[in-house]
């Protein structure tokens, strides 16, 4: 067969006397193309011009698809469909869309910007590993967020059981029996609307009350009980934030038995207020970002909102819908929030333990399952913070349940429910590609199935590593993070490339994988306009509505958990007012702690001490200890104690720069004050230990009171009183009150 030169291409092929089956259309038509790469509209214009100029016949079966019904080739300017050979010869090699920017800005960028709204844990640069986990294991991340809210929800009911048991309303543990829990769950679901509104409960209490006074009393009682439950649950949530997997129900029982006391309630209130105030709250900002994303989606379909698009939306919609799981991820992460600093929660909880723990708690030997904190160095603790519970999107211990009741059923149910947002995105993207050209299962479905399969495999892999306890936790986390990085970055790159035209080729646009014949329609504007008005909106809208409903269901089902850490202004103001009242009372009590009633020759008086949980200490001597004025010394004696205190004062006046050096907690014996016998120091401690405890607590939990003539220093878990004259400047050192 003689070769056809490029100079002869202007001559009709049929005029050469050759069979069209023997023509190499690629070499014939390539020099005539104005466009170098594949673009449907340009290809259609180029082909029509060749036919009109007589260079190319519109009846070439090798180039144009024949209509089965009419037997005519589809080569008209209004209905042009080419074969794979004709597409490669007329349209050119693969390339990105000429409108890749608008496509990316409309469908992919808005949904990926929700990544910036995901709340990150306060773990320096490792905080950005949260984004890797969300992209590489989306189902596991949503599961972890749901588990966090479930844990808070369970802590609320744990605190409610504790408070109700104390008030005699319901025996504690009544909800721990399986049958009782089942019955309670049924009743709670049947009355879920009624129980969700506190106002309705209060109106019922008002109706049952006989007088307005009793109604107000009942109302206040309910508010106090709710506040107490909320305070306890918030503090327990702080412990859970620190310990993660170690925070079991047995652990919380230990916390309540060791640290809770009605007299210590103010310290719990203060700690709960600080914990709630220390968490970020960007929930409504995230809702605004989601609303803007929804508006962006609507603008692609509604001409009155977004105008006429340059090209009607088609298969690119699938990329945005596939990533729609980021909507519930961003909403739930901001519903939970995070501490602005990883030391905030630790500082608040440590302060609470220091104030409320029994005096001998540090001297007790370690007891399995009863340690309040695991023995570890601070460096190790902060290094492990990200994978020990500090990151709400990575909670490998979520396969276990807090109280163990129905653990398997609850875990499986929560896992399946958490996969639903990812499954909904896949279920929406798949039919969109089915109804896009070429209709049916095409090559673009391959990346969709591949990424979805990798996401499910990523979840299974992470769970398997935790179940098998492979290696230490740090090594396990590094392996999971590496896996998520590979899958997440790969998935995001493929999705973005698909949206901007990575599959924009003759082979992919015309190949339905179960059909051997490849046909590529060059005129698609009318088809996609019709699909954009009839089919695509009915696929996209249910998917996005489901993602929002998923958030609403999770938040509503765990609304008590959200209630734990989401304090509005009213309870915060009440906590602040209570702290101010307690601080004022503590300051007055601290001043009274150094004043003894009675004078020489009078009958024994009682020291005025108003420290919670402590009885006033009677003075056994007939001589009291007078209050020392600014320029006078204390008089009187109490078994020689007063004279010893005077000697202490004189000693400090003689050595103004001397102070008692702090000793470590490992010291076997408490240090002795300079120049004094150990038994003298012990005698001082026995007299004043209870009196100064109130002042110490006031310093720990409230504004520092101003004491003119003494300070409290603590060594080896014992209190020492150091006196100064009123004219002596007060020492501003840690441990000095």
Domain ranges (residues) in the chain: 6-90, 104-357+376-466+524-569, 605-723
Is 90 exceeded by the pLDDT of residue 698? no
The answer for residues whose C-beta is within 8 angstroms of residue 713's C-beta and 6 or more apart is 660, 662, 719, 720, 722, 735, 736
| Per-residue pLDDT, 310 | 62
Q: For the segment 374-431, what is each residue's pLDDT rounded down to a tens digit?
A: 445 566 666 667 766 677 888 877 766 544 444 677 788 888 899 999 999 999 999 9
Is 50 exceeded by the pLDDT of residue 678? no
The DSSP result for 361-381, as a single string, is: GGGSPP-TTT-SS----HHHH
41-65 average pLDDT score = 79
Cα separation, 727 vs 708, in Å, equals 8
Is 50 exceeded by the pLDDT of residue 135? yes
| Per-residue pLDDT, 401 | 52
Is 50 exceeded by the pLDDT of residue 309? yes
**0.75 cut: is pTM over it?**
no
Q: Choose between 605 and 519: higher pLDDT.
A: 519
Is 60 exceeded by the pLDDT of residue 55? yes
| Per-residue pLDDT, 293 | 84
Q: For the segment 465-513, what is each residue's pLDDT rounded down to a tens digit?
A: 888 878 777 788 888 889 999 999 999 888 888 888 777 777 777 665 5
Closest CA to 711 of 659, 638, 637, 646: 659
Given pLDDT bands bounded at 50, 70 and 90, which one contains residue 457? very high
Closest CA to 532 of 311, 715, 354, 244: 311
Given pLDDT bands bounded at 50, 70 and 90, which one contains residue 618? very low
Q: Which of 174-188, 234-248, 593-607, 608-622 has the highest mean pLDDT?
A: 234-248
Look over the chain and give the mean of its residue pLDDT values, rounded to a whole number.
Answer: 68
Given pLDDT bands bounded at 50, 70 and 90, which one contains residue 167? low
| Per-residue pLDDT, 307 | 59
Cα separation, 90 vs 34, in Å, equals 10
| Per-residue pLDDT, 542 | 92
From residue 67, alpha-carbon distances to 76, 82, 530 in Å are 12, 11, 22
Is 90 exceeded by the pLDDT of residue 729? no
Radius of gyration of the chain (CA): 38
The answer for residues whose C-beta is within 8 angstroms of residue 396's C-beta and 6 or more apart is 245, 387, 462, 463, 465, 466, 476, 480
Closest CA to 415 of 428, 430, 402, 396: 396
The answer for residues whose C-beta is within 8 angstroms of residue 89's C-beta and 6 or more apart is 25, 26, 28, 29, 30, 63
Residue 24 backbone zone (phi > 0: left; psi -120 to 50: alpha; other: beta): beta
Q: For the segment 202-249, what is each residue's pLDDT rounded down to a tens digit?
A: 545 445 444 444 544 555 666 777 888 888 888 888 888 877 766 677
Q: What share of the chain in percent tops pLDDT 90?
A: 9
457-461 average pLDDT score = 92
| Per-residue pLDDT, 371 | 44
Dihedral sign computed on CA atoms, order 684, 689, 695, 698: positive
What element of type H or E holds 459? helix 444-468
Q: Choose between 405 and 528: higher pLDDT.
A: 528
Tokens of 636: 């009187």
Is 80 exceeded by the pLDDT of residue 448? yes
Is 90 exceeded by the pLDDT of residue 711? no
Reduced to 3 states (helix: H, G, I; strand: E, B; else coil), residue 81 is: strand
| Per-residue pLDDT, 422 | 94
Cα separation, 388 vs 375, in Å, equals 14
Is 60 exceeded by the pLDDT of residue 178? no
The DSSP result for 569-608, as a single string, is: HHHHHHHHHHHHHHHHHHHHHHHHTT-----TTSPP-B--
Cα separation, 311 vs 179, in Å, equals 61
Q: For the segment 286-302, what is each residue's pLDDT rounded down to a tens digit?
A: 888 888 888 877 777 77
Q: Choose between 606 and 263: higher pLDDT.
A: 263
């Amino acid at each position: 067969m003689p070769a056809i030169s490029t100079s002869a291409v202007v001559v009709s092929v049929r005029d050469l006397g050759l069979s069209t089956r023997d023509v190499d259309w690629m070499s014939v038509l390539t020099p005539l193309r104005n466009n170098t790469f594949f673009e449907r509209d340009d290809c259609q214009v180029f082909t029509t011009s060749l036919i009109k100029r007589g260079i190319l016949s519109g009846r070439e079966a090798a180039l144009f698809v024949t209509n089965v019904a009419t037997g005519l080739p589809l080569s008209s300017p209004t209905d042009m469909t080419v074969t794979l050979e004709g597409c490669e010869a007329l349209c050119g090699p693969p390339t990105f869309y000429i409108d890749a920017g608008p496509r990316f800005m409309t469908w992919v960028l808005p949904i990926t910007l929700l990544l910036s709204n995901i709340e990150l844990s306060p773990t320096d640069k490792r905080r950005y590993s949260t984004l890797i986990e969300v992209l590489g294991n989306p189902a596991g991340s949503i599961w972890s967020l749901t588990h966090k809210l479930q844990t808070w929800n369970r802590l609320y009911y744990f605190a409610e059981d504790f408070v109700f048991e104390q008030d005699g309303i319901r025996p504690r543990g009544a909800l721990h029996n399986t049958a009782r829990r089942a019955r309670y769950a049924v009743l709670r679901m049947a009355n879920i609307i009624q129980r969700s509104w506190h106002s309705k409960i209060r109106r019922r209490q008002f109706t049952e009350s006989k007088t307005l006074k009793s109604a107000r009393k009942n109302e206040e009682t309910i508010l106090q009980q709710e506040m107490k439950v909320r305070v306890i649950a918030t503090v327990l949530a702080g412990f859970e934030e620190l310990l993660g997997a170690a925070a079991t129900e047995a652990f919380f029982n230990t916390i309540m038995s060791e640290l809770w006391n009605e007299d210590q309630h103010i310290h719990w209130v203060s700690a709960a207020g600080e914990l709630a105030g220390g968490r970020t709250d960007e929930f409504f900002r995230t809702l605004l970002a989601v609303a803007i994303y929804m508006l962006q989606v609507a603008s692609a379909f509604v001409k009155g909102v977004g105008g006429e698009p340059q090209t009607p939306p088609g298969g690119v919609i699938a990329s945005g819908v596939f990533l729609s799981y980021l909507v519930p991820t961003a909403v739930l992460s901001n519903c939970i929030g995070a501490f602005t600093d990883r030391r905030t929660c630790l500082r608040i909880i440590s302060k609470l333990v220091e104030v409320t723990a029994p005096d001998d708690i540090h001297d007790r030997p370690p007891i399995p399952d009863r340690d309040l904190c695991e023995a570890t160095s601070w460096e190790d603790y902060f290094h492990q913070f990200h994978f020990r519970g500090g990151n709400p999107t990575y909670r490998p211990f979520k396969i276990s349940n807090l109280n163990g009741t129905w653990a398997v059923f609850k875990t499986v149910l929560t896992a399946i429910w958490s996969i639903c947002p990812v499954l909904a995105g896949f279920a929406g993207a798949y039919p969109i590609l089915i109804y896009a050209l070429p209709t049916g299962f095409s090559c673009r479905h391959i990346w969709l199935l591949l990424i979805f399969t990798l996401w499910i495999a990523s979840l299974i892999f992470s769970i398997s590593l935790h179940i098998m306890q492979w290696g230490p936790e740090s090594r396990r986390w590094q392996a999971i993070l590496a896996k998520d990085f590979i899958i997440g970055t790969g998935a995001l790159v493929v999705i973005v490339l698909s949206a901007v035209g990575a599959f924009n080729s003759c082979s992919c646009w015309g190949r339905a994988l179960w059909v051997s014949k490849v046909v590529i329609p060059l005129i698609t504007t009318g088809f996609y306009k019709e699909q954009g008005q009839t089919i695509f909106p009915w696929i996209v809208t249910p998917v996005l509505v489901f993602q929002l409903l998923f958030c609403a269901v999770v938040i509503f089902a765990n609304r008590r958990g959200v209630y734990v850490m989401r304090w509005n202004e009213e309870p915060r103001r009440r906590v602040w007012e209570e702290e101010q009242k307690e601080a004022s009372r503590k300051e007055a009590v601290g001043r009274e702690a150094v004043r003894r009633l009675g004078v020489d020759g009078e009958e024994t008086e009682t020291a005025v001490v108003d420290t919670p949980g402590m009885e006033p200490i009677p003075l056994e001597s007939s001589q009291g200890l007078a209050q020392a004025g600014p320029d006078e010394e204390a008089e009187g004696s109490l078994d020689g104690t007063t004279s010893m205190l005077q000697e202490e004062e004189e000693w400090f006046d003689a050595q103004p720069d001397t102070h008692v050096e702090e000793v470590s907690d490992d010291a076997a014996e408490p240090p002795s004050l300079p120049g004094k016998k150990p038994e003298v120091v012990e005698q001082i401690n026995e007299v004043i230990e209870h009196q100064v405890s109130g002042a110490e607590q006031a310093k720990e939990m409230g504004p520092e009171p101003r004491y003119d003539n003494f300070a409290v220093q603590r060594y080896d878990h014992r209190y020492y009183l150091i006196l100064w004259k009123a004219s002596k400047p007060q020492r501003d050192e840690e441990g000095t009150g």
